[in-house]
């Protein structure tokens, strides 16, 4: 593929024959950048074999020096990719998604004293990247491409007046009638997508201190490309592109998933491919799978995207004690086929709420999951559209139930993400939640699922095999290491197996499937029920079944029936 030609074609589709001088300037920059930057090549499709660990640097262990000290802990856990939640310079009113400077790490994350030069601060980050790479751990990080902080220099200038050269970096109106079909995403915390500023209003899809960028201005597109390239030069292996469906706005639409948004994403991808192919672009698109797959394009947009609907359906399946929500979600009826190079990213919990947006769950699903898991009123988020709680809290602090949830995620198709602390059953952090309310002025219950790790206490707990943390950690770690041994989990296809009761009726509480890739075949059997289950698999083992964790399956050859304890899971090599 001739990437310069591709970029010119995309530019013409977005802007017509206008602003060719901006494109010409960008091409000159791009050629010079490419001549000066000679990175190590990325392995094609490396993200399919990744096990991702998501963390806030400061909450995990203070700063990048502290995080570097914990790389051995992460290596021992078995992960091979770190997803850094926002680390760029920010006022931190939205946990770092409100970016003030795209080319600077937040000062407090460097561990260096005030007055230290910018190059020294940047060197701390590069040193962390180097240490991670030496341990075969890749690093990706968040970058918000849809909006900035109101403290970003562009916006500081833009609000000075209509004639300011940065005014057109953002979207302004004399009234609030424009884009009226765009939904309010932070319902319950924001009442409008417009914020008054003098005699004008500026547009925002998220908090009112996060003005949306105006991609109708081509300089915005080229500047954001330069920001991606800056971090590629620092050694970052990929980007989680935050809030990707909202990049382009069009009157008379809901301003989501518009055709020009896809053209912009293709432009980002072509730029990245030109400089360092296989640099991951991960789409954060809270949409139905049929909409998310469009962000893969024909293999020329994002490499991967979150399977947002699968996450709540895993929780529904466990609450309902039935495999059917998961099976239906992964069927072609809900989840279309994706390009060969593309990948779903899966997760149980993340830095946000357990989202129940009506974009991808029915009202019936939303009500059921909310009723089953929102055990305390303060866990409610966005008036019933989410639950702010850690995995351990949602699972009633039951180590075996937590392990079952991990087993489900780690064996289904896709690349799994582990949210920091969930590997040892971290609880909601009430103290952190209250402190953030005081600092931000926003009652954002998502702060419950964040908070600091007490490493001294954790080290003590992990040395005690009977402790709650150790019981969770031991099972999660074992699963991660077994998953890493088999490419079938990240790359293989899935064959669902029927599980049948003695009377011939389906046993929906037992989820069984085979993951197959090349000559690897793995049979996964999981009891989603809080009660003992027996089911006929119609699958005869050649020898006694010993699962990958050294446990012998209780299989009755006469009745061809497998017996499972509550929440038991088996990973069997066939």
Domain range summary for the chain, segments of one domain joined by +:
46-145+222-485, 147-212, 492-573
Mean pLDDT of the chain: 95
Q: What is the pLDDT of residues 316-358, one digit of tens each?
A: 999 999 999 999 999 999 999 999 999 999 999 999 899 988 7
**Full-model pTM:** 0.95
CB 278 within 8 A of CB 46: yes
Residue 542, pLDDT > 70, answer no
Q: What is the pLDDT of residues 495-513, one digit of tens each?
A: 999 999 989 999 999 999 9
Pick the CATH number of 147-212 from 3.40.50.1100, 3.90.400.10, 1.10.10.410, 3.30.565.10: 3.90.400.10
Distances (CA, A) of 385 to 258, 312, 353: 24, 11, 9
Architecture of domain 46-145+222-485: Alpha-Beta Barrel (3.20)
Residues designated catalytic: 242, 284
Distances (CA, A) of 238 to 68, 138, 212, 241, 413: 19, 9, 23, 9, 21
Q: What is the pLDDT of residues 395-451, one digit of tens each?
A: 999 999 999 999 999 999 999 999 999 999 999 999 999 999 888 887 889 999 999
d(CA 250, CA 344): 28
What number is the average pLDDT over the span 161-173? Answer: 97
* 3 state DSSP class of 144: strand
Q: What is the pLDDT of residues 68-98, one digit of tens each?
A: 999 999 999 999 999 999 999 999 998 899 9
Half-sphere exposure of 369 (CA within 13 A, CB side): 31
C-alpha triplet 469, 51, 548: angle, nearest 5°: 70
Class of domain 492-573 (CATH, top level): mainly beta
Q: Estimate to the nearest angstrom the gap between the alpha carbon of 155 and the chain centroid.
A: 28
């Amino acid at each position: 593929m001739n990437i310069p030609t591709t970029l010119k074609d995309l530019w013409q589709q977005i802007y017509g024959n206008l602003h060719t001088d901006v494109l010409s300037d960008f091409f000159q920059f791009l050629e010079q950048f490419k001549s000066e930057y000679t990175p190590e090549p990325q392995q094609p499709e490396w993200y399919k074999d990744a096990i991702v660990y998501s963390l806030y640097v400061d909450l995990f262990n203070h700063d990048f020096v502290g995080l570097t000290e914990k790389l051995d802990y992460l290596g021992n856990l078995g992960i091979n990719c770190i997803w850094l939640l926002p680390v760029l310079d920010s006022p931190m009113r939205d946990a770092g998604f409100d970016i003030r400077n795209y080319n600077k790490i937040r000062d407090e994350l460097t561990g260096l004293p005030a007055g230290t030069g910018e190059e020294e601060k940047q060197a701390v980050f590069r040193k962390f990247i180097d240490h991670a790479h030496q341990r075969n751990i890749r690093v990706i990080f968040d970058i918000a491409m849809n909006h900035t902080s109101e403290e970003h220099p562009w916006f500081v200038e833009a609000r000075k007046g209509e004639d300011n050269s940065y005014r057109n970096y953002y979207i302004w109106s004399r009234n609030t009638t424009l884009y009226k079909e765009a939904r309010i995403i932070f319902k319950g915390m924001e009442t409008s997508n417009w914020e008054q500023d003098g005699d004008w209003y500026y547009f925002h899809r998220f908090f009112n201190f996060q003005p949306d960028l105006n991609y109708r201005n081509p300089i915005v597109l080229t500047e954001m490309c330069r920001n991606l390239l800056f971090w590629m030069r620092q050694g970052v292996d990929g980007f989680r592109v935050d809030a990707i469906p909202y990049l382009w706005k069009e009157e008379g639409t809901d301003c989501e998933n518009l055709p020009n948004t896809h053209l912009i994403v293709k432009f980002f991808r072509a730029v990245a491919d030109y400089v360092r192919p296989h640099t991951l672009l991960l789409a954060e698109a809270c949409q139905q799978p049929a909409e998310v797959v469009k962000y893969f394009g024909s293999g020329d947009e994002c490499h991967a995207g979150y399977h947002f609907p699968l996450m709540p359906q895993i929780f529904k399946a466990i609450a309902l004690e039935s495999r059917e929500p998961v099976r239906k979600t992964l069927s072609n009826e809900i989840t279309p086929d994706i390009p060969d190079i593309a990948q779903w990213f899966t997760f149980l919990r993340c830095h946000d709420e357990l989202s129940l947006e009506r974009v991808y769950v029915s009202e019936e699903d939303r009500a059921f999951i909310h009723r089953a898991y929102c055990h305390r009123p303060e866990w409610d988020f966005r008036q019933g559209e989410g639950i702010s709680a850690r995995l351990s809290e949602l699972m009633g602090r039951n180590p075996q139930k937590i392990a079952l949830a991990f087993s489900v995620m780690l064996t289904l198709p896709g690349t799994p993400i582990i949210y920091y602390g969930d590997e040892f059953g971290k609880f909601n952090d009430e103290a952190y939640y209250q402190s953030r309310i005081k600092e931000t002025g926003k009652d954002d219950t998502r702060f419950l699922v964040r908070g600091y790790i007490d490493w001294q206490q954790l080290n003590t707990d992990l040395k005690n095999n009977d402790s709650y943390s150790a019981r969770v950690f031991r099972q999660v770690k074992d699963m991660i290491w077994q998953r890493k041994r088999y490419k079938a989990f990240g790359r293989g296809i899935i064959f669902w197996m029927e599980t049948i009761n003695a009377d011939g009726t389906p046993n929906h509480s037992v989820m069984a499937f085979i993951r197959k890739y090349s000559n690897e075949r793995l049979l996964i059997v999981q009891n989603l029920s809080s009660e003992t289950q027996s089911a006929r698999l119609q699958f005869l083992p050649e020898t006694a079944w010993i699962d990958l964790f050294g446990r012998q399956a209780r299989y009755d050859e006469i009745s061809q029936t497998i017996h499972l304890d509550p929440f038991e899971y088996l990973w069997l090599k066939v």
